[in-house]
Amino acid sequence: MSFEKEVKERVNAIGQNEKLKSCAHNFLEASLQPQYSYNFSWLGRPIIQYPQDMIAIQEIIWEIKPDLIIETGIAHGGSLIFSAAMLELVAACTGSEGEVLGIDIDIRPHNRKAIEEHPMYKRISMLEGSSIAQEIVAQVVEKAKGKKRVLVCLDSNHTHDHVLAELEAYAALTTVGSYCVVFDTVVEDMPKELAGNRPWGPGNNPKTAVFEYLKTHPEFEIDRDIQNKILITVAPDGYLKRVR
């Protein structure tokens, strides 16, 4: 049996392993309040992610070799630097060139400076404004024109309405075979108290937006192999693969 087939069978088995899935759920629940995901960095920039999701994105970037990665939600820039660094490796290994476009409503001056001074900035551009503002969407659509392999990552405001609007604006830019990754769908599966005073929570979050969007967009399917593989993820049911 090929190694890939063995991996697939193991991942399928893990997807049915309720004990292991429950351990992962408990870990996620216990780790959210202590802000576990706020303690990592990538090439020196703080990245607000769980390491397992970073591995999943690395696998996607290597598989797709995007010529454009669109990311909403920049914060300190860690995820932009991560994506740009992966594209740098893809380029070094295969010659396939790619760039990253980040959007944030508030790019703090110290974060902008650190991102612009980073060696990976050569693959990055940034737009400041709401990801669902018409003028921002228009610039992103323009940037995506003619691109052949586009990956989209949504990680900004996590309310239902905002994420649904982002999906309507950007998911269609995802090329067939690539992904639109919607972060923080996990909010739906966690106790209400963990959302604190944020405007999102169970019933109003990225996962509810994903389910609403998928009702009218059969060109996307949830890739559950990814969540079954990494188990610990803030994006359960959020790895959307464009299948047609």
Ligand X SMILES: C[S@@+](CC[C@H](N)C(=O)[O-])C[C@H]1O[C@@H](n2cnc3c(N)ncnc32)[C@H](O)[C@@H]1O
Answer yes or no whether residue 75 interacts with ligand X by CB under 6 A. Answer: yes
Q: Which of 52, 79, 83, 204 binds ligand X (CB under 6 A)?
A: 79
Outline where the chain has alpha helix (H).
3-15, 18-32, 51-64, 78-94, 109-116, 134-144, 160-170, 206-215, 224-230
Check: CB of residue 156 under 8 Å from CB of residue 166: yes
Site for ligand X, residues 98 to 127, rule: CB under 6 A: 103-106
Q: Using CB under 6 A, count the residues that bind ligand X.
A: 19
Q: Which two tokens stand for residue 149?
A: 């392999």
Q: Which two tokens stand for residue 9?
A: 């069978």
Answer yes or no whether residue 47 interacts with ligand X by CB under 6 A. Answer: yes
Shortest spacing between CB 75 and ligand X, in angstroms:
4
Site for ligand X, residues 126 to 185, rule: CB under 6 A: 130-131, 155-157
Answer yes or no whether residue 201 interacts with ligand X by CB under 6 A. Answer: no
Answer yes or no whether residue 14 interacts with ligand X by CB under 6 A. Answer: no
Task: Considering the complex, state which of residue 77 and residue 98 has its C-beta at the smaller distance from ligand X.
Answer: 77
Candidates 214, 215, 235, 218; CA nearest to 226 is: 235
Task: Considering the complex, state which of residue 156 and residue 204 has its C-beta at the smaller distance from ligand X.
Answer: 156
Tokens 């900035």 sit at which residue? Answer: 121
User: Three-state DSSP class for 72?
Assistant: strand
Tokens 């669109």 sit at which residue? Answer: 70
Q: Which of 50, 70, 73, 83 binds ligand X (CB under 6 A)?
A: 73
Q: Which residues bind ligand X (CB under 6 A)?
A: 47-49, 72-76, 78-79, 103-106, 130-131, 155-157
